[in-house]
Structure 1
């Protein structure tokens, strides 16, 4: 279990230099469009646009695949579950094997849901993998006027997430050295996982209390207006990225409507 929040892209890549608020807004617009559309073509076009934007993010393909593998696996599971357990099997029957029945209508509906999950996951990963958490906090307080107390607290919590991964490895390593392993026994593995999570939770709560006291002692809880060491501004390129996201969403909806498959989720 490892966690890292540092950008994994080339810092000079075009999208990596975009204002974090603009990237957050673009990812939000694309995700909302994919979640609102109930057809399969709209999220498919949005996913194709996100994949086409990958070379401009500066993210290594291997690193992007590593971050997306479980999310896309979950999307595939969503497709299978919705196709198998659909309330109604419509269209042509593809599989009819005893109690297992899958039709084209159920498969398309499941694929549409899975594609929406893929779009939301990919947009989020591309946005956060190209953004430094400190730059995001600066942009939230400067562009969106988010409360400094909330933003700084969230930033401190995000900075502590990698420590959870390191502490997880320490706990599991120490227990393995004492011979505490689950082996092939699923019940023992579940109990060991639960106890490790409890130990990690206790340590995280203690660390959070110490961090809160330290931040209060340094005046982070004061109501005095704060200054910023690094100024974040919305440049023309940032507005272009946001406008491009809106254009892509409009084009995807337009193409789906032209093919007569566009429907709104309700």
Structure 2
């Protein structure tokens, strides 16, 4: 199964135009980027989880993709706790490490903020088919078809690269050159994969140009990319959740406008 294939566990989400999902993330992300506080980020995470469960995103395969995020976010927050701006009471001071009341607050806010920003992107992009996304970008956002089709072709090659990497690993092992020197083997395989990628990309570009993908005529699209009530509701949820996060932070007195 392709890693780029959308998970079929949330049919209501799959019917939404991919560009609407991206548009719904923009206002929420903007609101979270304007402040660094735990209230707005926590409200965003809770709201995102409620919305995801409401639309049927309960597949363990989707949530498994969020595991790296749940590991990386606390590590980033720990860095802020140990080396962040010192303020308030001091809890620990050891060389460059200076843990204070303010640094702990910044670390918690950073962790929640990273999860709030990245979680919807990870989960929603797991429900997006690359071809549907390309159709939406070209038909709805009017992006150049050459750029859209080139990006789509590149995404479709990711799965092949993973297969090539596995084939290279098995071939080198069969020849007895993968038993020692793991770092050297990794570098050699990476260079071999780069060569394969360049060759495949050149052949693909030539084939696409020969078939008229770079022609001057206006393109037509085999599949329409409709926008209806579901897309409006999706974007509205992003706007409302972003506004609720800002209102909650202001009401709690934790709003911290980081651009000032």
TM-score by length of 1: 0.89
Counterpart pick for 2:67 among 60, 66, 69: 69
Instruction: Provide the rounded CA distance (Å) in 1 between the counterparts of 2:99 and 2:2.
Output: 39
Q: Say which SS state the counterpart of residue 54 (structure 1) adopts.
A: helix
1:254 aligns with 2:250: no
User: In 2 relative to 1, CA 190–35 (structure 1 residues): closer, same or farther, beyond 3 Å?
Assistant: farther
Q: 1:104 to 1:178 in 2, by over 3 A?
A: farther
- The alpha carbon displacement at 1:180 in A equals 4.0
What residue number does 1:208 align with?
201
Structure 2 partner of 1:264: 257
Q: What's the RMSD between the two structures over aligned residues? A: 2.1
What is the count of residue pairs matched by the alignment?
259
Structure 1 residues without counterparts, runs of 5 or longer:
none
Alignment correspondent of 1:5 = 4
Q: Which residue of 1 aligns with 2:116?
A: 119
**Match of residue 143, structure 2, among 129, 143, 146:** 146
Structure 1 Cα separation of the partners of residues 33 and 176 of structure 2: 47
Q: What corresponds to 1:82 in structure 2?
A: 80
2:161 maps to which of 147, 159, 164: 164
Distance 2:2 2:33 in 1: 27
Structure 2 contact 31–245 (Cα < 8 Å) conserved = no
Q: Is the 8 A contact 2:10 2:58 kept in 1?
A: no
CA positional deviation for 1:3: 6.3
Match of 1:231 in 2: 224
Q: Is the 8 A contact 2:10 2:57 kept in 1?
A: no
Task: Write out per-residue CA displacement over residues 166-186 of structure 1, whole angstroms, 9 at most, x where no aligned residue.
Answer: 111112222233444477xxx
For residue 41 of structure 2, the aligned residue among 21, 35, 43 is 43
CA distance in 2, matches of 1:94, 1:51: 33
What are the Cα deviations for residues 196-241 of structure 1, in whole angstroms up to 9, with x where unaligned?
A: 2222111111111000000000000002111121111210121111
Q: For the residues of structure 2 that align with 1:65 and 1:180, how far apart are their CA atoms? A: 38
- In the alignment, is the contact (CA less than 8 A) between 1:15 and 1:57 conserved in 2? yes
1:135 corresponds in structure 2 to 132
In 2: Cα distance, 1:209 partner to 1:246 partner: 42
Q: Is 1:42–1:252's contact at 8 Å kept on the other side of the alignment?
A: yes
Offset of residue 57 of structure 1: 4.7
| Counterparts of 2:251 and 2:10, CA distance in 1 | 39
**1:2-41 → structure 2 map (5 Å cutoff):** 4-10=3-9, 12=11, 14-41=12-39
SS of the aligned residue for 1:224 comes to coil
Q: CA deviation at 1:66?
A: 2.2
TM-score between the two structures when normalised by the length of structure 2: 0.91
Q: Deviations over 1:98-144 (max 9, x none)?
A: 76432221122122222222222212112211111111111111111
Contact 2:38 2:109 in 1 (8 A): yes
CA distance in 2, matches of 1:163, 1:57: 32
CA distance in 2: counterparts of 1:60 and 1:164, whole angstroms: 29
Q: Which runs of 5+ in 2 are unaligned?
A: none
